[in-house]
A and B are shown apart, each in its own frame.
Chain A
Amino acid sequence: MTARLASYAWLWLSAVMIALDQWTKAIAVEHLIYAQPVPVLPGLNWTLIHNYGGAFSFLSHQPGWQKWFFLIVASAVTLGLMEWLRRTPRSNWILCLPLSLLIGGAIGNLIDRASLGYVIDFVDVYYQTHHWPVFNVADSCVTVGIVWLICYEIFSKEARTERQNGKP
């Protein structure tokens, strides 16, 4: 049993990311005025935004629905990722690391949706007049996790192919 759940130790990383995410969001809510950018560096503002649905704009004006839609999808994805993590050996950090980041990121935003009905975003990156959609620490974890996993899949496939090709 203990051996089976060994890779759950990686959830400590998820927990750290969740804490970091919620802490930064709390600071943003405390110090920022809604939708009023605070310049930090050239190309970076802190801009507090409430995200009710974002990408799924068709849901964002269906009153009430989007909250449940996102809650259910995010919960399902989190459970799936945890199962994946459980089946991965604890020492396989190349896979465990992105999985635990993804879990942390998903839960970070899930907490917002469940308690507030929206997600708190505040990182506003831009170049001249072109703005990236405003995001937060949880989004960063998810993005890094996904990119990592994609790279991992590509490289491991190449490695497999090479190994197979290399066989006499």
Chain B
Amino acid sequence: MDYKNTISLPVTDFPMKADLPQREPNRLAEWAASDRYHAIQKHAADRPMFVLHDGPPYANGDIHIGHAVNKILKDIVVKSRLLAGFRAPYVPGWDCHGLPIEVAVEKKHGKVGQKLDARAFRAECRRYAAEQIDRQREDFKRLGVLGEWENPYRTMDYAYEAGIVRSLARIVDRGHVVRGFKPVHWCFDCQSALAEAEIEYGNKRDPAIDVAFKFIDGKKLAGAFGLEGSIDDASLAIWTTTPWTLPANQAVAVGAELVYALVKTARGHLLLAESLVESCLLRFGMSGEIVATTTGARLERCDVQHPFYDRVSLLILSDHVSAADGTGLVHCAPAYGVEDFHAVKRYSSEVLNPVGGDSRYAADLPLFGGQRIKDANPHIIALLQERGALLSSTEFDHSVAHCWRHKTPTIFRATPQWFISMDAASLRKDALSAIDTVRWIPDWGRERIYGMIENRPDWCISRQRTWGVPIPLFVDRERQLPHPRTGEWMLAVADKIEQGGIDAWFDLDANDWLGADVDRYEKVTDTLDVWFESGVSHSAVVCSRDNLGELPVDIYLEGSDQHRGWFHSALLTGVAMYGAAPYRQVLTHGFTVDAQGKKMSKSAGNVVAPQQVMKSLGADVLRLWVAATDYRAEMSVSDEILKRVSESYRRIRNTCRYLLANLNGFEPQNAVALDQMLPLDRYLIGQAHALQQKVIAAYDSYQFHQIYQDVHAFCAIELGAFYLDVLKDRMYTLQRDSLARRSGQTAMWHVLEALTRWIAPILSFTADEIWSYMPAREHPSPLFHTWYEQLAPVPSDFGLNAATMALLMQIREATQLALEPLRRDKAIGSGLDAEVDVHLSALQADALRPMANELKFLLIVSRATITTETAPAGATVVEREGISVAVAPRVSVAAKCVRCWHHVDDVGTHPDHPEICGRCVENVVGEGEVRAWF
């Protein structure tokens, strides 16, 4: 007789081969067709909110692997919060204004005013940004990121532009914005101030000179050294690498605590820091001896003569002077150095600023008027030589600030700018205390941003650009102070911008607003720093959309460079506007590097392009890599690494496939209640419950690599190497509707329900695919659901308690080890060709007595006999924590049942079924086998 039809083999249409690059786009089309994002949002409408607020990528160029990592991590967070029972909306955004887009448009249409006027140029920028967004959007969606893609926020949206102006109005209103002349990074090629974030450092060769400044009052100088009389031939020496700043010299600074020496040399007395006397004299090619010493504090206001202009340079005290190099005295040109500026400010409010935005000296500057500063250096050095003020002249290589766009050196230059003052309305203090209301992940993020806020200068928010949101102010032409009605007018301008975009300000006629005052006030044409624009998204997006809850949002999640970028500008604007941080948590991830930890670059040939990975391996493999990698450090990726990840992917996929195959013919009405289940199945449910607790905790604390490890191990070890292996006999040979088989199917169903949810935030495409094969799913995707609730820990009086289970696993291990040599010698094919004697202590034997009859099913052998006799010499012993078990195997001599492949003595005892065992006879024609344990 053919028993094939009496056996229930696993069957499923779920494909073994993932074919992700082909299959994923179909699923995306389905998500789009069924408007999956809004369907889930609607379904979750009554839940508590969890808002991850998207940091806007810059709308220029195709996405790279760093973008992919960022968006995937966000998606994992959002989806896991959905499963945790929150309504987790996700509105993606783009940063649209700013220089890179201007540069791209300039390449095609020339600079503003050449072919296009400013208005047409802005229109081109807007069109260009929209195109870039469309390209990036398709790539982001292809990653499987769920969000409001059809209605994202864009910083160039009229409503957002208006939101920026309203935010600025509020910050002005709260007294944080000040007008000032301050040295800012200035690029002559951009002809604009640059933000700290737009600065790169690079090497540059500069002249390095020592210059003498003559003391004016010899008597006062002598007094500072405690000497009698007057020292009339004394000079001090400064060292500088920027001779072009000497025309703007206003002071020389000394350190109050430093010790200075008066050195007698052939050219008269020289003032130097004591510790630098030797090295300076060597550089000057002089000899000399120290006549007296004093501290810097006593030298204050022993003023000196400017080396080539007829004016006094103040001798001032400053903290920024050190005796590490140079002469220990610092030449101060407050217009061209931040520290100089702050040092001189305490002595003089005047700032000499002879250099124009085009890098030339003002025409009326004596001696050098109209020259370019970089051409002026040799002329200045020659003049110093002529006047006998040059002590030494060499060249010097050092690292200086460069424009990130032009790669040319920038200078500090005092320009009239708008600032958010860190201290005028205690912004720094409030921001520092707001930092401690935020959870920083990883926790070193707190130190990093704290240090930055603590030490940063005022935030220069004005730029002189075309494609940016205006600072819509009218200022007094003379005093540069805003018009008294500024607060009210800014809000009115914001309303106009909401209707017509930023052109509404640039087109605006000042006469309409100022009336009779039009000669007294001028319209500001500066634009805002783009970091300000994206920084205020908490106001322009979160507070302005009705579906994103309230501030603070739950989390900001960006790369670790954003402590100086978006986290920073969002914190400052948040505190400036509401006195509080706009976020509760800030999570940062590391940069993407290659397998050797090197930065990716085209020239190194180690770039992994996400678009390419989509085509070759699929989004889910990339997503699994992101989840599997600890994002707190640098994230290594290479084709080799991704290949390994796709092997892990296959393991998880095949486990799910095997579970589905075993669920063939199972519907929820066939489910067995937990308390009716076989103990082994109930044990598995307990294991799954424990793992789900871990998975939930790991998602709650954003430890995704932990989830990957645990879930992968569960698939490979608990299910693959144990449970599913043991269950084969029961699934295949028992009656379809038998309690024991339905119990096993119920366990697998519960596990698959839970497992699919665990992986859904990470393997979004595959989870949905599995879901579509799930028996009677409630909703079309696991993302409509929350964590699975039908799992439970085993009851306290459970028969298969932890100790028993440990003993059984130990016996199973011993059995597998014992069978290995027989298998190697081809004495047996499978374990079912063997029998084992299990040698246990009396206590252990007692514990296993109730399940002794079914032990062979757990060990997958044809007979397992428990004995308390001493093990024979050849037995395999496995010892664990002082407890040992021994297993002695032998080849079974009983006949093999053709149906279940067990070797059993009763094969052939039934006259109608001579080829099968008694158990199989019962399953084929009888009431069906009953199992109590495994």
Q: Which residues of A contact B (CB under 8 A)?
A: 34-35, 37, 45, 47, 49-52, 57-58, 60-64, 117, 124, 126, 128-131, 133-134
Contact = CB atoms under 8 A, between A and B. Distances in A.
Nearest to B30: A63
Interface in B755-795: 768-769, 772-773, 776-780
B1 interface: no
A37 to B, nearest CB: 7
B33 interface: yes
A126 B738 contact: no
Given A49-B776, A117-B780, A129 B737 contact: yes
9 contacts: A35-B776, A49-B667, A49-B668, A60-B772, A61-B773, A62-B772, A63-B768, A63-B780, A128-B737
Given A58-B13, A63-B34, A63-B780, 19 more contacts: A34-B778, A35-B778, A47-B669, A49-B667, A49-B669, A49-B776, A50-B778, A52-B777, A52-B780, A61-B772, A61-B773, A62-B772, A63-B27, A63-B30, A63-B768, A64-B30, A126-B669, A129-B738, A133-B667
B402 interface: no
Interface in B13-45: 13-14, 26-27, 30, 33-34
Contacts of B33: 64
Nearest to A53: B772
A64 B776 contact: no
Contacts of B779: 50
A131 B669 CA distance: 7
Contacts of B769: 61
A47 B739 CA distance: 19
B671 interface: yes
A64 B13 CA distance: 17
- In the A-B complex, the 8 residue pairs with the smallest Cβ-Cβ separation, listed nearest first, are A61-B772, A63-B30, A35-B668, A131-B669, A129-B737, A34-B778, A124-B669, A49-B776
A133 B669 CA distance: 8
Contacts of B909: none
B790 to A, nearest CB: 8
Contact of B13 (A35, A57, A124, A128): A57
Contacts of B777: 50, 52
Nearest to A129: B737
Nearest to B779: A50
A58 B26 CA distance: 16
Nearest to B39: A117
Nearest to A45: B669
Interface string B172-201: 000000000000000000000000000000
B773 A134 contact: no
Nearest to B671: A35
Given A57-B13, A129-B742, A134-B667, A63 B772 contact: yes
Central interface residue in B30, B33, B780, by most chain A CB within 10 Å: B780
Contacts of A134: 667-669
Nearest to A58: B13
Interface of B: 13-14, 26-27, 30, 33-34, 667-671, 737-739, 742, 768-769, 772-773, 776-780
A141 B293 CA distance: 111
B776 A129 contact: no
B241 to A, nearest CB: 67
A50 B776 contact: yes
A57 B11 CA distance: 12
B781 to A, nearest CB: 9
B10 to A, nearest CB: 15
A45 B670 CA distance: 12
Contacts of B776: 35, 49-51
Nearest to A61: B772
B26 A63 contact: yes
Contacts of A124: 669
A64 B669 contact: no
Central interface residue in B34, B669, B772, B779, by most chain A CB within 10 Å: B669
Contact of A47 (B27, B30, B668, B742): B668
Contacts of B738: 129
Nearest to B34: A64
Nearest to B768: A63
Contacts of A63: 26-27, 30, 34, 768, 772, 780
Nearest to A35: B668
A117 B781 CA distance: 12
Central interface residue in B34, B667, B772, by most chain A CB within 10 Å: B667
A62 B1 CA distance: 39
B496 to A, nearest CB: 45
Nearest to B673: A37
B737 to A, nearest CB: 4
A51 B775 CA distance: 9
A45 B673 CA distance: 14
A37 B772 contact: no
Given A45-B669, A61-B769, A130 B780 contact: no
B670 A131 contact: yes
A62 B13 CA distance: 11
Nearest to B737: A129
A138 B812 CA distance: 52
Contact of B739 (A60, A126, A129): A129
Central interface residue in A58, A63, A129, by most chain B CB within 10 Å: A63
A53 B668 CA distance: 15
Contacts of A130: 737
Nearest to B738: A129
A113 to B, nearest CB: 13
Contacts of A35: 668, 671, 776, 778
Contacts of A45: 669
A49 B668 CA distance: 8
A91 to B, nearest CB: 42
Contacts of B737: 128-130
A6 to B, nearest CB: 43
Contacts of A62: 772
A163 to B, nearest CB: 46
Nearest to A132: B669
A62 B26 CA distance: 10
A52 B667 CA distance: 13
A129 B33 CA distance: 40
Contacts of B739: 129
B826 to A, nearest CB: 42
Nearest to A67: B34
Nearest to B753: A35
Nearest to A128: B737
Central interface residue in B13, B739, B778, by most chain A CB within 10 Å: B778
A61 B13 contact: yes
A124 B671 CA distance: 12
A12 to B, nearest CB: 34
